[in-house]
Every structure is written in structure tokens, then in C-alpha cells.
Chain A
């Protein structure tokens, strides 16, 4: 099973994104707003760095003891009458959900936003069983209706225009709906309310799972997460195995930084602490069955390596909002489930380098992602390490390998380096414009078309140094 990298190459995906004029306005506007409100919300705490350090310590401790806390959470769920399903890979996770659905005679599923189920391509497999699956987060619903995929961890439909939404909903309504966000939202509310009230199964992700009691913590603003976990008779929560949090005290810290980092809210509108077991009889609502599906799907490959910190991520999206590359190309160009700096780090680790070689290079290494991260993951360092791994595995292109071999040869031979620098200064003259190169042959042209390339200095440093050392000064 597993997801495949897109057939379209990375540079083609990037170019397509760069030609999308709406995306070029909408993504920078949204990410900039998220970025500013995040900073404001964290600053209100007073000493945001200390909170982030504490959050980081909690995540580091949890992941370093992951086996223990997963076992504790599973014991808690089982003690409360819930069922735990252990899934080493996507196929096992899908099979677990399908067998729950079959046993319960499920015809209709409502889902709240979950990135891990995107990894599993769960909807496709449920639909293949003849089960109707409805995404209920407004953004995810829009995406699902259009057969599209999310382009931001917390704002999945940021790349869609209101007019596109109006057309999608109008088709569904069988009449032209007004070009008005309130009216369109009201339409979705009515439509999805029917689905909530008639669904047999609710599938949610998990922002956190509290090891003490097995409760699933869901952070949402719309209320769909509550619907999905309260109304259908079966609740299935699918968690990436790293989502566990040891105690309520730890949860209190992470909940102070997650919504602030994601949307700039002190708390999201709904923080649901739910499940772990079925609702006791006689409460009148709540699920009669609770299942927790714990998913590895490549995550254990990060454990015990220098990429272990990649599993600290709490999926707030702050690194996307901070990233100058994400702001320009949006989420789809990354091609995987997770985009932005965290996607560039974990996608090649979870899926393997094949087809994802470019992702560690989709970064300027400016470190804005690390500055934004609520749990201080050194994303830029991990990207450099991934590039290094790629080089070690000789995954670079043939010309790149040749170029760097030539560079090494020159650097190891001072006489050759000196002559090469002088030759370059002479050869570049036709291309030079005020200190920059324009045009040029072959790969140089490809570079200078889109990026600046500084000209080699007219006199080499070594020549100037020799003059300076001779006490003549250089007259400048």
C-alpha cells in the first residue's frame, strides 16, 4: 500500500504553484497572518522561550520513553472498555479500521480532520468497501468535494477561492448559491448536520492521547470534532504513535503552546478530551464502542537516530507559516501529506528518499522554522543532515557530482585554484553587469535566469593579500 511520490517532478510542481496567481496572494496573506498572531499570542505568556523549552522537554521525555507511555495508554483504554489496535504499517491500520466497520455494519462514516488518515489514504479504502465517507472540517469538506488534497496542516483549503467553493456547493445544492462566505458556510452546516445525525461511525485523529486515562484530545474550532466523537455509535481514533502525552500536567503545557502556535488563539474553540472507552449506558449520547488505532507506518525508523526529534512535532503548522519557501510555493508542491519544513524533513524519513530527494533542498536554511517551532525542533539542522545523507548515498545528479569533484580537485591544489579564479574573472567579462552575472552557457544560464549569481572579483583575494602583505595597500 503506502503512498507513492507524485509522478510530476518537483520542479514542475513548483512551477505550477508559482503560476497559480490566487495561491501567490492567498498563501502569503494567510501564513503572514498566522505568523503574526502566533508571535503575539506567545508573547502574551511573558516568556515564550521558557514555555517552548518546557514543551520540548516534555516531548523529548515522551519520545525517549515511547514504549512505556504507549503501553500505559493502551492499558488505560482496555481497562475502560475500549479496544486498541496496533498497526505497524498503513496496510495494517487500514485493515483494522475496515474490520471494525465490517463488524459494526457501518454504512456511513463522518471524519474530523486527521493528517495520519491522509497518510493511510483511509477514505479511498473505506469507499472501496462501499462505505460513504464524509470529511466534516469545512476546509477538508471543500477539498473532498473537489477530489483535492490539503495544502496546509491547519488551513487545508487555503489555496481555494470563494468562487471555487461557491461552484462546488452550488453543484451539490442543485441551485446557484450566493457569493458569500456566511451563506456558503450555512449551506455546509445544514448539509453536514444531516450526515452527523445519520452516521454509524466517527473517525478522528488525535492531537494528543493522555497515557493516564487513554483520553483522546482533539483541538478544533468548528465543532465537527465533537460531533464525530459524540453522535455516531462507534468512535475510531487513529493516532500516529508519537502523539501520546504522559500526564494531565504535561497536557496543560502543550495546550498552552499548540493553539497559540497554530492560529494565535489562547485555546481553540473546542478542546475535546474524549473517548478512551465507550460512553457509559444511560448517558443518552456518546459512542457505544471506542477503538484506538496506534500507527507506526515508518515512524520507528526515526527513533534512535539523529532524526528522533522529528517525532516531537505537534502539528501546529507554525513552520509552514514561517517558511519563505512554503509561502511562495504552498503545500501541494511538496507532493506529500506533510508540507513545509516539517514535511521536507519527515517525508523522506517516513517514505524513503526515492522520489523525495528534492524535499531537503526545498529550504533556504534560514532557520525561521526553528524559531517558530513550539517544541524547538532544529528543522534546519535536520535538513542539512538529510542533504548529507543523500550525498553519502550518492543520490546527487551526475553533473552535480562532477561539479563538486572538480571543485574539490581545485581546492586541493592552490596553483590550480589561483589559475581557475583568474580564468573565471577573464571569461566572465561578457556576462558581467554591475557585479552580477547575466545569462551564460548551460547550467549557468539556468541559474541566472531565476537567481542572482555574483561575479568573481576582478582581482583574486590572494593577489590582493600579496600586495597588502607587501605593505603597498590596495589603494581602495
Chain B
């Protein structure tokens, strides 16, 4: 095994060192860390004021075929129930609120309690996923510039919940919004460099889609057909 590795890497090393090399100027460009990590300013940046981010997030998610609404913490349950009602679904599969530390877990627990109270069949992960109609998860981060939610796997946070059901409801707690991908990945970098490495992180930007048949856009190829995000204000803060 290590023998194969050594042979492989030795061939790469020798090839890089030998030969005439790439065109002039290449070496300077390939020098250590040329501007890496220092991104150019971007014209589509949502701005530094977090107050502007929810509206931008919602507009971007809607532009890719998803939907989003802002809600007070206390209203999140009724809004979730209304979404399920519009879809006409009954079987809900959710992450386990007990697995989520802090306000995300409390928010999820309250939403699930409301859905149960409305007569929906609510199961929490791990549970049978194949026949669930609506998945409910909590975003670790949400990206305003692209309408993206970031989920990471872990105990009680099955990958299948956001993947197998036909519909997906994402709760976005206050404070989860980031302006761009760079900030969301910076959070992830900080986390993994601290030794906490999730096996699976997924950035979801709208419903599953394909244009493989004559370039006609179809929603819901393998993943959820609809994606709805609830941007939830802090508890007691109103909408």
C-alpha cells in the first residue's frame, strides 16, 4: 500500500522536477499562495448589513424554483403546518431535535410539536425514510447571495431526511444567514480545523432539477421536488 503510494508520488515529483516545464511566467503564477484566500470584491455582494440578507436569500431561492418566508419564532409551527397543508402531505420525517444543541433544537421541537398537534404523522431520525413525504431539517448556515442552505450530518441528523421525501422544509434560525459562500465555508473551515469533521455537508440551492431531456427544465429528478425555507426570527422578537 505505502509502496504504491511512494511509487505514485515519486513519479509525480520527478515529472514536476524534470522536463522543460510550462510556458514562461507560469512558475511565478504558481508560486506559493498567489492571492489565494483574498477574493476580489463582488458586485452581487448582499452587503454588510445582515438586515438585508433575509430578503435577498428569499429572492434568490425563489429565482431557482424554491420558496421562502420570514416568520416570528412563535409562528414557525403554524407556517410549517400551512406549507404541509398546501402540499397535502401527512407523513413527516424530521431530524431529532434532541441532537441539535441550542436554539436550533428548540425551534425544531416546537415546529414538530405543532405539526403533530395538527394531526400529521411525525417521525424523527433514525426512522423509515422511504415513504416519508416531507422532510424537516435545520440549516447550519444559509447563504443570502445564492439562496443556499447548508446542512451537516451527525447523530440524529440523517442525510436521507433532506433527500428522500418529495418535499423539504428547512428551518433557518436567526443568525444562520451568511452573505456569501465564502463566509459559510469559512465557518466550516474553522470547525474542521478545530477537529470537528462532519462526514457529510451539503449545500442545497433549490429543488432537484435536470434538463437532460431536450434541455427542458424538470424539477424533482432524484431529490425533493419542492424546497421551502422558513427564516425564523429570534424567540420573542416578532417577525
Contacts and interface: CB of A to CB of B under 8 A. Distances in A.
A440 B78 CA distance: 81
Contacts of B182: 249, 252
Interface string A33-72: 1000000000011110011011011101101111100110
A51 B40 contact: yes
A305 B18 CA distance: 8
Interface stretch (A115-123, A280-288, A327-335, A393-401): A280-288
A51 B215 CA distance: 28
Nearest to B37: A249
Nearest to B192: A213
A303 B12 contact: yes
A15 B28 CA distance: 44
A207 B182 CA distance: 18
A309 interface: yes
A302 to B, nearest CB: 8
A50 B43 CA distance: 12
A248 B186 contact: yes
A460 B49 CA distance: 70
A364 B155 CA distance: 56
Contacts, number: 297
Given A86-B5, A272-B200, A309-B22, A29 B215 contact: yes
A74 B5 contact: yes
Contacts of B32: 61
B237 interface: no
Contacts of B23: 306, 309, 378, 381
A371 B37 CA distance: 24
What is the size category of the interface that chain B forms with chain A? 35 or more
A456 interface: no
A248 B22 contact: no
Interface residues of A, number: 112
Contact of A305 (B8, B19, B40, B222): B19
A272 B202 contact: yes
A283 B202 contact: no
Given A46-B44, A181-B214, A276-B199, A309 B223 contact: no
A165 to B, nearest CB: 5
A193 B165 CA distance: 11
B18 to A, nearest CB: 5
Contacts of A185: 210, 213, 218, 220-221
A249 B12 CA distance: 25
Nearest to B154: A283
Nearest to B227: A269
A292 to B, nearest CB: 12
Contact of B15 (A33, A58, A156, A304): A304
B22 A294 contact: no
Nearest to A53: B35
A70 B223 contact: no
30 contacts: A46-B42, A46-B43, A47-B40, A54-B35, A60-B29, A63-B30, A138-B221, A181-B213, A185-B221, A221-B208, A221-B209, A222-B209, A226-B202, A249-B37, A251-B185, A266-B205, A269-B208, A270-B204, A272-B202, A273-B202, A274-B201, A278-B199, A279-B200, A283-B153, A283-B158, A286-B200, A300-B11, A303-B12, A304-B18, A304-B19
10 closest Cβ contacts across the A-B interface? A223-B223, A46-B43, A284-B126, A304-B19, A303-B15, A139-B212, A64-B30, A248-B189, A223-B222, A60-B30
Given A283-B158, A304-B21, 20 more contacts: A54-B39, A74-B5, A157-B212, A181-B218, A182-B218, A188-B221, A222-B208, A222-B209, A226-B202, A250-B36, A252-B39, A266-B146, A267-B146, A269-B205, A279-B200, A283-B157, A304-B17, A304-B20, A305-B21, A308-B22
Interface of B: 4-5, 7-9, 11-13, 15-23, 26-27, 29-44, 60, 64, 125-126, 129-130, 143, 145-146, 148, 153-160, 163, 181-182, 185-186, 188-189, 192-193, 197, 199-216, 218, 220-224
